[in-house]
Amino acid sequence: MKIGIIGSMQLTEQMYEVCDELKKLGHDAYLTNLTKPFIGKTDEEKERIKIYQKNNLGAMKEFWNLMQGGDAVLVLNLEKNGQPNYIGGNTFLEMGFAYVLNQKIFLYNPIPEIDLYKTEIEAMKPIIIDGDLSKINPKIEVEIQSFISEEQHKRLLAFFNQNAEFVKDDFQETYYFDTNSNLRIQRNNENAKLWHKSGNVHDEFMEEIEVPVKREDFEKLEKFLNKLGHNVKIKWLRNRKQFNWQGIKVCLDFTKGYGYIIELEKISPELEKEKVLEVLKQKLNELNIYLTPREEFEKQYNYYKENWRNLINGNTS
């Protein structure tokens, strides 16, 4: 994510620290070059530099130009002169730039209690991270799947039992609903969850949102979605064996009426997802498993979608 750091120039040193931390998290973080003269100066000196830059160097236009093509800004609203979560006039203006450019606005701390433009800040709908930079990093699930035979399933099970950390043996019931988005509920051996994935079913990159609930509340989730006008369009019954193999989540599945599948998954920062995808493909190749083309998955999925009731009941005639 390309993200600009903004805030009071009296906080320049802290802005550079945060910028470095965001880069470590995989972001393309940046500051205006006009921040460099502020490093190591006293507050009085910083104030004089700020006024000079505004009047003579077009500081506000300079940052506007840097923002083009960006994804977000992070407002470093720390305490200044005894005022908690300070947001000054110039920072407020730059937040407005981001808002007009449809960029996300992250606040390091909550919105300050100021009468002058608190309502306007609230209208921008900033995302408050409470000092946790990891909240800026979207959770991208990178995964690849392939159909395998029963014999391949047995071979891989023996391999991972010897060469990977066994995590769990699970039985999962997953219901997909007739919405325009990828909305699901799932119950496993331990709990249940309301579950949304961005994108389509067989996409390689997906951002996940999960709301965990007690296992016994699974039926309540279904009734809740029914009340909202959403009905189940597909049910899946899956036996899953999960392993941790070299930092990769490996699942060996048998889904009733659908077949045997191996899935390799890794959570990745947005900027590294293509690199992680290539690693997963390489690992699948090391296992001597052919990557099933997406078209084949779509074909099998569509067949299951039309026939799942008979398939899970064993009526395939």
Which tens digits make up the pLDDT trace of 54-69? 776 667 788 788 888 8
Report phi then psi at 48, rounded to 5: -65, -40
Spell out the residues 6+ positions from residue 256 whose beta carbon is closer than 8 angstroms to its own: 237, 238, 311, 312
How remote is the C-alpha of 87 from its chain's centroid?
A: 28
The C-alpha atoms of residue 284 and residue 146 are separated, in whole angstroms, by 9
pLDDT of residue 271: 65
The C-alpha atoms of residue 304 and residue 258 are separated, in whole angstroms, by 7
Spell out the residues 6+ positions from residue 1 whose beta carbon is closer than 8 angstroms to its own: 27, 28, 71, 72, 136, 137, 138, 270, 271
Mean pLDDT of 21-31: 84
How remote is the C-alpha of 316 from its chain's centroid?
A: 39
- 255: pLDDT strictly greater than 80: yes
Q: Are strands 28-30 and 2-6 parallel, antiparallel or unpaired?
A: parallel
What is the greatest pairwise CA distance in the chain?
84
Tens-place pLDDT, residues 91-100? 898 999 999 9
194 beta partners: 185, 211
The C-alpha atoms of residue 8 and residue 91 are separated, in whole angstroms, by 7
Mean pLDDT of 18-37: 83
Q: Which two tokens stand for residue 136?
A: 């800026």
Query: pTM higher than 0.85, yes or no?
Result: no
The C-alpha atoms of residue 66 and residue 58 are separated, in whole angstroms, by 13
Residues of the chain with CATH 3.40.50: 2-136
- CATH class of the domain whose range is 2-136: alpha beta
Cα dihedral value 114, 119, 120, 124, nearest 10: 110
Check residues 316 and 161 and name the one with the higher pLDDT: 161
- Topology (CATH level 3) of domain 140-312: Hypothetical Protein Pfu-838710-001 (2.40.320)
Residues of the chain with CATH 2.40.320.10: 140-312
pLDDT of residue 161: 97
Q: Are strands 182-187 and 192-197 parallel, antiparallel or unpaired?
A: antiparallel
pLDDT of residue 317: 42
- 102: pLDDT strictly greater than 50: yes
Mean pLDDT of 181-188: 90
The C-alpha atoms of residue 113 and residue 312 are separated, in whole angstroms, by 58
**Mean pLDDT of the chain, nearest integer:** 88
Q: Tokens 């995808």: give the residue.
A: 277
The C-alpha atoms of residue 59 and residue 89 are separated, in whole angstroms, by 13
pLDDT grade for 181, boundaries at 50, 70 and 90: confident
Spell out the residues 6+ positions from residue 103 whose beta carbon is closer than 8 angstroms to its own: 67, 70, 71, 72, 73
Percent of the chain with pLDDT over 90: 54
